[in-house]
Amino acid sequence: MTRTRFRIALAGNPNCGKTCIFNALTGARQHVGNYPGVTVESKSGSFELNGASIELIDLPGVYSLSSSSPEEDVVFQELTKPGIDLIINVVDSTIPRRSLYLTTQLAELHIPMLLAFNMSDDAKKKGLKYDLPKLETYFGSPIVQTVGSRTGGVRPLLEQLAKTLEELEEHGVPMLSYGADIDDAIGEVAKKIDSLHVEKYAHIPSRFFAIKLLEHDTAAMRLKEFQPAQATVEEQIAHLWQKHAIEADTFMADRRYAMLAGACRDAITMTQERRREISDKIDMVMTNKYLGLPLFFLIILLTFWFTFTCAQPLMDCMNKFFGLLNDVIKAKWPETTLPVLRSMLTDGVISGVGGVLVFLPNIMFLFFAIAILEDSGYMSRAAFVMDGVMRKFGLQGKSFVPLVLGFGCSVPAIMATRTIESERDRRVTIMVLPLMSCGARLPIYALVIPAFFGGYSTFKQSLIFVAIYAIGILIALVAARIMKSTLFAGDGEVYLMELPPYRMPMLKSLLLHMWDRGKMYLHKAGTIILATSIILFICNKFPEKKTGFSQDYDAEIAKLSGSEEEIREARIELENQRQAEMMEYTVSGRVGRFLEPVFRPIGFDWKLVTASIGSLAAKEVFVSQLGIVYAEGDIESDGENESLKNKLRKNYTPLQGFCIMLFCLLSIPCLATLAVVKRELNSWKMAVVEAIGLFVLAYTMTLIVYQICTLLGIGTAKIG
Amino acid sequence: MSETKCSCGCGRAAVGTRRYRIPVGDEITLAELPVGSSGRVVKIKPELRGRKKFADVGLVAGSELKVEAYAPFGGLMRVRVMESSMALHSADAENIVMERSADL
């Protein structure tokens, strides 16, 4: 080969097996990113073919180049940019007409093209026979039959690719004709475009843009280079309408399908009666009007069961590992050398990052399970059966799974919203997701409920527990409804979703998907969570109080007398008091004191404020932080601390206890959630809006509850 | 359209609005076809939002459709078009005019 570098774009419909082929060609050498400004995932990979290095761009799956979705916009931009040497168009050969529709548009670009008739084994089973040479002349491109899902199934594609790359210069020209009337109109507009001499798009035939302009394609009409041709375009459209009653926005679709119908009649034959597909039979049950929903809930349940059963042992291992690591470092690193760094590494970094990293197995298994649901084709059925229910709340079918995941952890749940195509619905789902009470809030409830409501029966206690969750869900649904009619008002995107036939998921693509998401999570733990752990550690530690204690603790400890047991207990008591005083002196303590007047109306004192600030790192930190300010020492965050509960009872009313839970439930989630909101919505503004919005919501709700109940005297008597 | 829109912005009619469907003449819309029946598209009304998107997947005049199922709690319906299954809102399907075939 004379050239050593090629850029190849992989284009095709959604569900055509494009990703399968991409994975088969590039293996693990992939780069997953985002197109700037939109939340469309960009994927590229590379491989070598006969010594030439090939960059393969996996374009998002689209039905057309009509720019009626962000994906279609991205494909349009990518393909009209210079520098693409070849398009590999993956065609689902079991549904030739629909798949070749995109091909007719790609062919107009006059970029050398190679057609991969994928799933050719299924097509054969269906009884479809292709006259390939005829189709090759028709589209002016070579055609290979592939089976992307089988090892070696892409071999013919590679063989043809090597041949095609050798003779790129002499690629064929498609012979597409849309009928004399329209061909004339295209010719007129193309002539006008030629006279404009647009340098920027010189590499693309004017005919392509002529068709796009005649179709009133928004992406093409936006290009200011072609503005001067607008008059000619309108003239031709008016002419077509008058003479042939042809409507601008759909006539090209009409004609393309008509043309394909002709082509298919000539070149495609059905040798046998098509058997009723298994897929339809499965769907008779899965999307059944009555069975559909119960089956859906069963599958979701199984998914969670699978995730947690598989991940639990690994999580335990990781927990032990980080604990051990802390102990080893503390043992090897003498307390006297660089004590600040020592405790920052162990108590700050390892505890903070480790606390988040232990969720990694959970996330990996969860996304493995989600990938199975997606790749098998069930996810779109789930959306189909859930849509009616979710739409009542301004959400849609695909919002359900992420919302349920939110009970575990908001971070992977927000990552899982990527399956929602509609940008508006996706945004609303992300915005309300933190209201689903995540697992990290559990320790707070586990501390507060027994502390203040311990007198009630276990049944009543669990009712309070359920009530808290229900409040979160209720507010989330109401908020979604409100956001849909205010912030995200207006007509949404048109809803049209394909239900592809069920397919056996491929292990390779499942693993790749799992690895992608895992990597994303690791990245987060390595950057934002690391940074916040260090910052919070510093805030909780500095400035250090060295003098000016209310009593001389060292002297007091020295003075202690009595039995060994008594001395030990008194000593711990004094140490904890000292720690509490030190806490008050630090940045966190001071901020808490400073903000106390703001929080007094919702029943918070500075200690609770300080704990709330600490909980920004992770919600469960609220409990350990409270332990520190109440001089209970650095207690474990499992809430199993009787004396902390006693102290809470002495200092707060049950109403305040409830307000603590309410505020923690509704307020800003951990910073990691905010970071992932920013990432997924691609906007700092939205992340800030989210944080402020939730804070205002939490504050107002708690304020209302606290003030009204105080007025009515509900739960205002201390029980400790 | 004069009907009251749902306040959530989903574009569908408000809950509780009575919706009568009385076919006039020989026209019948996709939303009126019973499950399991098929027919040919006569035309797509200009009122259909995102007409191009529907056209791109094969919902054009002349194509053969089959109503496969309705989702629980209404709203979505499932239509076979160009050998693949597409889910769409029945509110949108009201703008797709079908040929009234002999068996209906």
Predicted complex ipTM:
0.79
Same domain for A193 and A164: no
- Cα–Cα distance for residue pair A549/A551, rounded to 1 Å: 5
How far apart are the CA of B40 and the nearest CA of chain A, in angstroms? 14
Taking CA–CA distances from B74, the nearest residue in chain A reads: A388
Q: Is residue A638 assigned to a domain? A: no
- Non-local (6+) Cβ contacts of B73 within 8 A are A388, A389
Taking CA–CA distances from B54, the nearest residue in chain A reads: A496
Exposed, middle or buried: residue A556 (CB in 10 Å: 0-12, 13-18, 19+)? middle
Contacts of B67 in chain A (CB under 8 A): none
Q: Single out the residue in A170, A191, A226 at which a domain terminates.
A: A170
**Contact check, Cβ <8 Å, B9/A485:** yes
Interface of B with A in 25-44 (CB under 8 A): 44
Q: Which residue has the tokens 């040798």?
A: A271
Q: What is the pTM of this model?
A: 0.79
Taking CA–CA distances from B58, the nearest residue in chain A reads: A98
Taking CA–CA distances from A422, the nearest residue in chain B reads: B10
How far apart are the CA of B103 and the nearest CA of chain A, in angstroms? 22
Find the CB nearest A387 among B44, B49, B75.
B75
| CATH for A198 | 1.10.287.1770
**Among A709, A691, A687, A711, residue whose Cα is nearest residue A699:** A691
- Count of the separate structural domains present in chain A: 2
**Among B34, B26, B85, residue whose Cα is nearest residue B59:** B85
Find the CB nearest B61 among A254, A391, A397.
A254
- Cα–Cα distance for residue pair A111/A105, rounded to 1 Å: 11
**Contact check, Cβ <8 Å, B76/A389:** no
Find the Cα–Cα–Cα–Cα dihedral A475, A481, A487, A491, rounded to 10°: 160
Identify whether the C-beta of residue A101 lies closer than 8 Å to the C-beta of residue A72.
Answer: no
Same domain for A215 and A128: no
Same domain for A125 and A257: no
- Cα–Cα distance for residue pair A572/A577, rounded to 1 Å: 9
Contacts of A250 in chain B (CB under 8 A): 44, 51-52, 55, 60
Total number of residues shown for chain B: 104
- Cα–Cα distance for residue pair A504/A389, rounded to 1 Å: 29
Q: Is B14 on the interface with A (CB under 8 A)?
A: no
Q: Which residues sit opposite A578 in a β-bridge? A: none
Q: Single out the residue in A217, A247, A270 at which a domain terminates.
A: A270
Q: Domain residues for A50?
A: 5-170
**Contact check, Cβ <8 Å, A497/B87:** yes
Contacts of A253 in chain B (CB under 8 A): 52, 55-56, 60
How far apart are the CA of A61 and the nearest CA of chain B, in angstroms? 13
**Contact check, Cβ <8 Å, B70/A94:** no
What's the confidence (pLDDT) of residue B13?
A: 54
A577 by DSSP, 3-state: which? Answer: helix
Summarised one tens digit per residue, pLDDT across range B3-21 is: 455 555 555 555 566 666 6
SS (H, E, C) chain B: CCCCECCCCCCCECCCCCCCCCCCCCCEEHHHCCCCCEEEEEEECCCCCCHHHHHHCCCCCCCEEEEEEECCCCCEEEEEECCEEEEEEHHHHCCEEECCCCCC
How far apart are the CA of B57 and the nearest CA of chain A, in angstroms? 7
Same domain for A189 and A69: no
Same domain for A105 and A67: yes
**Contact check, Cβ <8 Å, A253/B9:** no
Identify whether the C-beta of residue A435 lies closer than 8 Å to the C-beta of residue A475.
Answer: yes
* Sign of the torsion formed by the C-alpha atoms of A126, A128, A132 and A137: negative
Same domain for A184 and A166: no
Contacts of B57 in chain A (CB under 8 A): 63, 98, 496, 498
- Cα–Cα distance for residue pair A288/A280, rounded to 1 Å: 11
Q: Is residue A586 assigned to a domain? A: no
Identify whether the C-beta of residue A624 lies closer than 8 Å to the C-beta of residue A685.
Answer: no
**Contact check, Cβ <8 Å, A289/B53:** no
**Contact check, Cβ <8 Å, A95/B8:** no
Find the CB nearest B56 among A66, A95, A481.
A66
Integer Rg of chain B from CA: 13
Same domain for A74 and A147: yes
Q: Is residue A152 assigned to a domain? A: yes
Same domain for A11 and A143: yes
- Cα–Cα distance for residue pair A84/A619, rounded to 1 Å: 49
Same domain for A55 and A151: yes
Q: Is residue A584 assigned to a domain? A: no
Beta-sheet pairing, A86-92 with A113-118: parallel
How far apart are the CA of A216 and the nearest CA of chain B, in angstroms? 10
Same domain for A157 and A12: yes
What is the token pair recorded at A287? 């999307």
**Among A269, A216, A272, residue whose Cα is nearest residue A246:** A216
How far apart are the CA of B52 and the nearest CA of chain A, in angstroms? 6
Residue ranges, chain A, pLDDT below 50:
1, 273, 635-640
Q: Is B16 on the interface with A (CB under 8 A)?
A: no
**Contact check, Cβ <8 Å, A68/B50:** yes
| CATH for A106 | 3.40.50.300
**Contact check, Cβ <8 Å, B84/A66:** no
What's the confidence (pLDDT) of residue A699?
A: 95
Contacts of B87 in chain A (CB under 8 A): 380, 383-384, 387, 495-499
How far apart are the CA of A246 and the nearest CA of chain B, in angstroms? 12
What's the confidence (pLDDT) of residue B10?
A: 56
> H-type helices in A527-653, by residue range?
530-541, 553-559, 564-585, 587-599, 606-614, 621-629, 642-651
Q: Single out the residue in A270, A293, A322 at which a domain terminates.
A: A270
Q: Is residue A598 assigned to a domain? A: no
Q: Is residue A33 assigned to a domain? A: yes
Q: Is residue A525 assigned to a domain? A: no
What's the confidence (pLDDT) of residue A636?
A: 45
**Contact check, Cβ <8 Å, B9/A387:** no
The number of beta carbons lying within 10 Å of the beta carbon of residue A719 is 15
**Among A671, A713, A665, A358, residue whose Cα is nearest residue A535:** A671
Find the CB nearest A388 among B8, B51, B76.
B76
- Cα–Cα distance for residue pair A423/A70, rounded to 1 Å: 9
Q: Kindly state the helix (H) or strand (E) to which residue A480 belongs, with its residue range.
A: helix A458-485
Same domain for A195 and A216: yes
Exposed, middle or buried: residue A221 (CB in 10 Å: 0-12, 13-18, 19+)? middle
- Non-local (6+) Cβ contacts of A550 within 8 A are A581
Contacts of A290 in chain B (CB under 8 A): 72
What is the token pair recorded at A563? 């039995």
**Contact check, Cβ <8 Å, B60/A250:** yes
What is the token pair recorded at B88? 């769409």
What's the confidence (pLDDT) of residue A632?
A: 61
**Contact check, Cβ <8 Å, B53/A66:** yes
Helix A654-666 to helix A684-712 angle (10° resolution) is 160
Beta-sheet pairing, A143-145 with B76-81: unpaired
Structural domains present in chain B: 28-98 (2.30.30.90)
Identify whether the C-beta of residue A434 lies closer than 8 Å to the C-beta of residue A690.
Answer: yes
Q: Is residue A499 assigned to a domain? A: no
Find the CB nearest B11 among A283, A485, A491.
A491
Beta-sheet pairing, A143-145 with A113-118: parallel
Identify whether the C-beta of residue A623 lies closer than 8 Å to the C-beta of residue A645.
Answer: no
Same domain for A221 and A120: no
